[in-house]
Amino acid sequence: MRSADSVSAPVWDPRQYLRHTTHRTRPFLDLLQRIPPLPDRGRPARIADLGCGPGNVTALLADRWPDAHITGYDLSPEMLERAAKDWSGTTPGGGWLDFRPADAAHWTPAEPHDLIVSNAALQWVPNHPESLAAWIDGLRPGGTLAFQVPGNFTAPSHALLGELCALPEWRTRLGGQGRRFVHILEPAGYLARLTALGCEADVWETVYCQLLQGEDAVLDWVKGTALRPVLTALGDDREAADAFLAQYRALLREAYPAGPDGTVFPFRRVFAVARKPS
Ligand SMILES: C[S@@+](CC[C@H](N)C(=O)[O-])C[C@H]1O[C@@H](n2cnc3c(N)ncnc32)[C@H](O)[C@@H]1O
């Protein structure tokens, strides 16, 4: 399932990822609000969630479309196991939720879909702008493609990670691991592609001024996401991982000093909602 086109897949840790659920879920709720009603065809909607992770945001789709058949796709066995354990089966509204392994770099709908969503996942899929056409093609007329990608890869959290990985001490083992997201488009880039595909598109960006709690809160956040490739690469060498984390922790403490009410961690995100003509 893991392909050379996708960024080589890191090992994910659902428990660590779910430590900041409130902040991580909010952009998905904001995205969900902007999705127009799906075409009413007198049968349950068919919905896909690409890069579904531990499934908690996938399950939110069932609140809006209670009888839908919703499938979450992910590359990570760890995430899929957690998603299936927590969320698979009949939904409270009589719909169905399941989870399947798939590489979003190559996924296309095997049957027409009413809605394809992706939250905080396509930054891991280098060719995703090229896949938009196939995903729109796989929608029923009037269906929607909606996604959100982080747009904060020049922020200190990510810039410092890239610089640290490029130091002579780490370059051989970690070169490139801190700069994996350069293929994200600016909002205008997504808008141009989606309108060129004939969609009505709504694209925007938001900076969430997140107030994180706890010691080394930004480090704790990135341990669930951007640090996965580094932690995976150093996974068999505890001493090296500890040394890397100590250096990165010191840089993050300086860039994001803890205040009396928590640590401010601004986070830019880019959103796109594209409706296929009826
Ligand atoms: C930051 S998590 C987001 C999870 C979930 N969508 C959410 O909003 O909580 C990114 C997820 O994308 C998945 N992922 C990364 N590359 C992928 C690919 N090529 N195909 C499918 N899933 C992928 C990861 O395994 C991970 O579960």
With a pLDDT cut of 90, the percent of the chain lying above it is: 89
How many angstroms is it from 150 CA to the middle of ligand 1? 12
Question: By the 8 A CB rule, do 203 and 272 touch?
Answer: yes
* CA 36, chain centre distance (Å): 21
| Residues with Cβ within 8 Å of residue 246, at least 6 apart in sequence | none
How many angstroms is it from 76 CA to the middle of ligand 1? 8
Residue 175: inside a domain:
yes
- Ligand 1 atom at shortest distance from the alpha carbon of 6: 19
Residue 192: inside a domain:
yes
Q: For position 27, which CATH number holds?
A: 3.40.50.150
- Ligand 1 atom at shortest distance from the alpha carbon of 53: 27
- Ligand 1 atom at shortest distance from the alpha carbon of 28: 8
How many angstroms is it from 41 CA to the middle of ligand 1? 30
How many angstroms is it from 119 CA to the middle of ligand 1? 8
Q: What are 190-200's pLDDT values in tens digits?
A: 999 999 999 99
Residue 4: inside a domain:
no
- State how beta strands 46-50 and 69-74 pair: parallel
Q: Is the pLDDT of residue 5 over 60?
A: no
Ligand 1: which residues within 6 Å by Cβ? Answer: 6, 12, 24, 28, 51-53, 57, 73-76, 79, 103-105, 119-121, 124-125, 225
Residue 8: inside a domain:
no
pTM of the model: 0.95
How many angstroms is it from 141 CA to the middle of ligand 1? 27
- Please give the tally of structural domains in the chain: 1
Residue 125: inside a domain:
yes
Residue 59: inside a domain:
yes
Q: Quote the domain boundaries for residue 242.
A: 14-275
Q: Which amino acid is at 147?
A: F
pLDDT, position 180: 65
Mean pLDDT over 29-42 rounds to 94
Q: Is the pLDDT of residue 3 over 50?
A: no
Q: What are 40-56's pLDDT values in tens digits?
A: 888 999 999 999 999 99
Question: By the 8 A CB rule, do 97 and 91 touch?
Answer: yes
pLDDT-derived band at 80, boundaries 50, 70, 90: very high
Residue 262 is given by DSSP the state: B
pLDDT-derived band at 112, boundaries 50, 70, 90: very high
How many angstroms is it from 53 CA to the middle of ligand 1? 5
Residue 1: inside a domain:
no
Minimum CA distance residue for ligand 1 atom 16: 124
Residue 219: inside a domain:
yes
- Render the burial of 140-171: b for 16+ CB within 10 Å, e for the rest: bebbbbbbbbbbbbebbbbbbbbebbbeeebe
- Ligand 1 atom at shortest distance from the alpha carbon of 3: 19
Minimum CA distance residue for ligand 1 atom 10: 121
